[in-house]
Structure 1
Amino acid sequence: MKKHIIYFFLLTFSFFFTSCGFYSFTGASIPANVKTFQVNRFENNALLVEPGLENAFKIALEDLIQNQTNLNLVTSNGDIVYEGEISEYRISPTTATSENTAAQNRLTISVRVRFFNRKKEDDDLEQNFSFFYDYDGTSQLIGSVKITAHEEIFERLTQDIFNATLAKW
């Protein structure tokens, strides 16, 4: 009877360790030979230019990749490279009041991303990503409203970029 219990525990622990050994909580499927990444400048080509937006976006993307992978950030010769441009920064009304004023506004930010995997060129990607943030029509896009809008949009954009390039979702 003791032998059966010992075998049961050994079998249980072996399943536990092998099933958890290859799992990534972020869903990233990064080849073992990829060790570094670089994020080049994202030029702001939007018609409405928000100063400093390109740098804030670059930092948000770098932070997300560093937090969700064990890749090292480099300034040149990265195994994987992100680059592109901010193609849209637009504020538009989404709903109106009976007085023909905006009840709600929407900030939309779109980026065009080029992704290069120097270790596996089949993974290269060029794609547009876009997300929005709705805010009250009586508010101006300044101060905390702008900070919150940028943070929420960047969080979604960078996660979508990560999923498309490294998680393959």
Structure 2
Amino acid sequence: MPMHLPTRRALLSVVGLALLLSGCAFYSFSGAAIPSHLQTIAIPLTIDNTTNPVGGLGTRLSDLLVDRFVNQTRLALTANENQADVVLNTRITQYNNQPATVSGDAQAAVNRVRITVEARYYDQVQDTARVAQDFSAFADYDPTTAGLDGERQAAVQALEQVADNIFSTATSNW
């Protein structure tokens, strides 16, 4: 008995989708593309080369990156850099807190925290740097009402943006 046209279309759609997905060796439904030869990642503690009043930024960025790479990819975290397939090294190189807008009485109405991070995502299997660049992000806060807590919150928001940008660049550069 011949196949009806809707049944044939459905079958062709399923076969086409299967072929399409089988050709995407690195695709993940989170949008992260990781080559099949990479199974493990090492993310050493971020070095903070700045002097800033907000403590623990290096640890915070490392935690954010571990969260993204472990929870949104199939990569397994390893503490041993020498045995990892890929290593992500990061270093906070700049921390700035400056007025972004000034009120009529020449006081800062909004301050901007800008953080710059140097990142290197190195594929040790193929002996090549997949990403080697600086990432920068900022967040604003009201220094008169929020004070140091506002600066801390702005710094964390900037770090979250940096972590998102590093993750997106590292997992879409294939």
TM-score (norm 1): 0.86
Q: Distance in 1 between matches of 2:35 and 2:116?
A: 29
Q: Distance in 1 between matches of 2:71 and 2:159?
A: 15
Q: Distance in 2 between matches of 1:108 and 1:67?
A: 27
Unaligned runs of 5+ in 2: none
Aligned counterparts, 1:156-167, within 5 A: 156-167=161-172
Question: Contact 1:42 / 1:83 at 8 angstroms: preserved in 2?
Answer: yes
Q: CA deviation at 1:20?
A: 4.5
Question: CA offsets per residue over residues 73-128 of structure 1, 9 Å max, x none?
Answer: 00012111011311112110011111100011001111111221112233433211
The answer to whether structure 1 residue 32 and structure 2 residue 33 are counterparts is: no
Residue type of the alignment partner of 2:165? D
The answer to whether structure 1 residue 63 and structure 2 residue 63 are counterparts is: no
Question: Contact 1:49 / 1:89 at 8 angstroms: preserved in 2?
Answer: no
Aligned position for 2:173: 168
Aligned position for 1:12: 13
Q: Percent identity?
A: 29
Aligned counterparts, 1:142-153, within 5 A: 142-143=148-149, 145-146=150-151, 148-153=153-158
Q: Distance in 2 between matches of 1:18 and 1:44?
A: 46
Q: CA deviation at 1:134?
A: 0.8
Match of 1:120 among 115, 119, 126: 126
Q: Distance in 2 between matches of 1:105 and 1:147?
A: 12
The answer to whether structure 1 residue 45 and structure 2 residue 43 are counterparts is: no
Give the SS at the match of 1:40: coil
RMSD of Structure 2 on Structure 1 (CA):
2.2
Q: Distance in 1 between matches of 2:74 and 2:155?
A: 26
Q: Mark the CA change 1:124 to 1:9 in structure 2 (over 3 Å): closer, same or farther.
A: closer
When the two structures are aligned, how many residues end up with a matched partner? 168
Which region of structure 1 is more displaced relative to structure 2, 149-158 or 130-139? Answer: 149-158
